[in-house]
Structure 1
Amino acid sequence: MLRQRKVESNDHAEPADDHGTSNTRESRPRTRRTARSSNRLLNCLWSGFLCFLTIVALLCAFLLTFYALIDGPINAVYFSLPDPPAWNGPLEQNDLLTKTERLFDKRIQGPESQALRNGKLYTSTMDGQILELDPDTQAILREFRLRDKPSITCNGSYDSFPVCGRPLGIRFAKDEDTTLIVIDAYFGIYEVDISTGSSSLLLPTGSRVSDGPPLNYPNDFDVTDDGVIIFSESSTKWDDRRHLYSVLENSGDGRYYLHGAKRGTFDVFADNIPGYPDNIRLARNGSLWVPIAAVRTADDNLLAQMPKLRTLLTKLIPVTSLPWFFEKITAPYGLVLLLNQKGEVEASLHDVAGTTVPYTTQVTEAEDGQLYLGSDAGYFIGRLKR
């Protein structure tokens, strides 16, 4: 009986190894040890990842707290905007701007403003020059500088602006073919004789023209019939290369200079337009061409009502990187408005995707009805035949 039980028991035994011993007892503990090691490794990796996330979160919280407590370059002001108007009526979206022809493409830098005279086109560029152009042959005929050319390279960089200057608004003097008036954001207001290329300074920056801060950042102007220059100043605090500080701060430190019965007053001409306008110019029919440098979105009002966030942005992002930052978060949209003398929108020209004209800073209408479009940071002048 004992022998029989032993035989039956051996029938169910695990195979023995070469030494006659069973593998069962050794393989099961080894499997359990491997599983425990894998679990410990996974737990260690997960714990390390959580630890890393915790350190990153604490570091971010510390940096945000630190930046929130330190003084920033701006002191942003709360303001509120109404919802932008709907794209209907004369604002209905179209593709008219996509038909624009690019002239001098990648041959000029930042043609902010344009003026036409005797078939020639004049423009102010980011590298501190006034260019005389032939729009038909696309030839650059002449280059003018308001001052002697500096020793540094004038390439429109952040450091070059105060030395090379940045001409902005330009217009011809009334009833004159050779006198071009130019505003330079760093140097002041000039007259340029385009027949000789010589220039004379009419009003330098730093001048006191009113009871207030000295002239700091002149931008655009117009000339009355009797030859008086009326000009605007974008900011008494910031210069052109830091203009986004002025935009984000919105402290109302810009000025315009006007003498006469309405000195110190203003009237609202057009309210709640769908974007932020730049150089305004007369159309041939007496209406006004209003270029939109940036189209408004519903998010604009959210940022307007969060001055602390706007201030924090200027603490976190260097001023030299702000243009790049806003370019990345803002979708391009080309838009030009035509306003009548009552401030009502007569017509609008769109490039919804911004593929041809992503934005524009001035529209100049020629005698034949063609429109020339400039942009302060683009590399071409647009020509649109209507």
Structure 2
Amino acid sequence: MRRPAIEPVVWKAPRAGRRPPPSLPPLTVWHVNGSGAEDVLVDDKGNVYTGVDDGRVLRLTSDGRRLDTIADTGGRPLGLEHLPDGRLLVCDAKRGLLAVDRVTGAVETLVPRSPQLHLCNNAAVTADGTIYFTDSTQRFELTHWKADLLEHTGTGRFLRRTPDGTVDVLRSGLQFPNGVALAPDESFVVFAEMWEYRLIRLWLSGARAGEFDVIADNLPGFPDNISTGSDGHIWIAFANPRDPRLDLLLRTPPALRKALWRLPERLQPAEKKTVWVRAIDGGTGQVLHDFYGAGVGYHMVTGVREHDGRVYLGSLEERAVAFFDLP
């Protein structure tokens, strides 16, 4: 695919905090027959779901021994969630917001890809079927996510679909909004603003209903998918640690980034080989768990899901999902 032109703007990032010391428990890696198992979802039987870049949605049994294709969206599935009616919600970068029958494989389009929904990325679902979801960029395709980072114009949006099908834009002008997580009591919803290194919370009930605030700011990595664990914590997948050189680059005149974007892929800055997930308290933002380590045999974690003391990982780059047990 030909690279699109970029029109960068200058952005001054705050100074990054330090990474934690290595603390990652040993990983178990389950390979799948497709590339880019970007997100992970677990059902009440311990089966693990993921989507790969050829459009298939896959299910691994709880022991990792059997792999089934349950549907083919014909697009690029990213974030996955459970719907109240038993179907899977699939955020598809090429097709929009979808509902997938996990028995028949039937695919229903809830919100089609259109000029109003360009890159559907991740979502959270309330008990009544209201869906909060992200549209990461109005400018670029998923394969050109680096262009959105270098340009830094902030065209992403945070949206809501109500059970009657009404879609509302709740916030726009966002820097690649990504993961979404819902409080266990549904009092608030949180989304990751990836290029701003922060998590934003929208209060859904109580005295502050309708207000946005920042729950975690100046994060030390790029927050990708987020989720609410069975422990009630908000889990964050850091796709990559922050790079001081990139933060410096974003301060420079746009012409420099245009020149960098024209370089062959092999000459551009590459992602670091790391695995990093963090859990925070959804009310206070306090860090509760922080697992970081070198990505030996697995890297670029873009999805995380804690389920009964086990932490499952997805990756935009790997042909596998992975997990570790909480110490």
Q: Normalised by the size of structure 2, how large is the TM-score?
A: 0.78
**CA displacement at 1:108 relative to structure 2:** 3.2
Structure-2 separation of matches of 1:315 and 1:262 = 34
| Runs of 5+ consecutive residues of structure 2 not aligned to the other structure | 163-167, 172-210
- Are 2:226 and 1:280 aligned? yes
More strand by share: 2
- Are 2:164 and 1:223 aligned? no
Structure-2 separation of matches of 1:128 and 1:299 = 35
Q: 1:349 aligns with which of 277, 286, 291?
A: 291
Name the SS for the 2:268 alignment partner.
helix
Q: 1:182 aligns with which of 83, 86, 90?
A: 90
Is the Cα contact below 8 Å between 1:103 and 1:135 reproduced in 2?
Answer: no
**CA displacement at 1:141 relative to structure 2:** 2.4
Aligned partner of 2:28 in structure 1 is 101
Aligned partner of 1:195 in structure 2 is 103
Aligned partner of 1:75 in structure 2 is 7
Q: 1:316 aligns with which of 260, 263, 268?
A: 263
Structure-2 separation of matches of 1:379 and 1:259 = 32
Aligned 1:53-64 pairs, distance under 5 A: none
Aligned partner of 1:292 in structure 2 is 238
Amino acid at match of 2:251: Q
Aligned 1:25-174 pairs, distance under 5 A: 73-87=5-19, 92-97=20-25, 99-104=26-31, 107-117=33-43, 118-146=45-73, 164-174=74-84
- Are 2:216 and 1:270 aligned? yes
Query: 1:87-134: per-residue Cα shift (whole Å, max 9, x none)?
Result: 4xxxx312324x0111126x3311111111223211111121101111
Aligned partner of 1:244 in structure 2 is 146
Amino acid at match of 1:255: R
**CA displacement at 1:373 relative to structure 2:** 0.5
**CA displacement at 1:254 relative to structure 2:** 0.7
Structure-2 separation of matches of 1:303 and 1:378 = 28
Q: 1:381 aligns with which of 301, 321, 327?
A: 321
Amino acid at match of 2:318: G
**CA displacement at 1:359 relative to structure 2:** 2.0
**Structure 1 residues 311 and 223: CA distance shift in structure 2, 3 A:** same
Structure-1 separation of matches of 2:75 and 2:287 = 35
Is the Cα contact below 8 Å between 1:100 and 1:356 reproduced in 2?
Answer: no
**CA displacement at 1:189 relative to structure 2:** 1.1
Name the SS for the 2:212 alignment partner.
coil
| Runs of 5+ consecutive residues of structure 1 not aligned to the other structure | 1-71, 147-163, 207-212
Query: 1:41-70: per-residue Cα shift (whole Å, max 9, x none)?
Result: xxxxxxxxxxxxxxxxxxxxxxxxxxxxxx
**Structure 1 residues 227 and 83: CA distance shift in structure 2, 3 A:** same
Percent of aligned pairs sharing the same letter: 29
Is the Cα contact below 8 Å between 1:110 and 1:126 reproduced in 2?
Answer: yes
Is the Cα contact below 8 Å between 1:113 and 1:124 reproduced in 2?
Answer: yes
Structure-1 separation of matches of 2:103 and 2:94 = 25
Amino acid at match of 1:355: V
**CA displacement at 1:262 relative to structure 2:** 10
Is the Cα contact below 8 Å between 2:16 and 2:218 reproduced in 1?
Answer: yes
Structure-2 separation of matches of 1:270 and 1:262 = 22
Query: Runs (4+) of structure 1 moved beyond 3 Å?
Result: 258-266
Q: Normalised by the size of structure 1, how large is the TM-score?
A: 0.67
**CA displacement at 1:137 relative to structure 2:** 4.0
**CA displacement at 1:344 relative to structure 2:** 2.3
Structure-2 separation of matches of 1:301 and 1:137 = 40
More helix by share: 1
**CA displacement at 1:220 relative to structure 2:** 0.8
Larger gyration radius, structure 1 or structure 2: 1
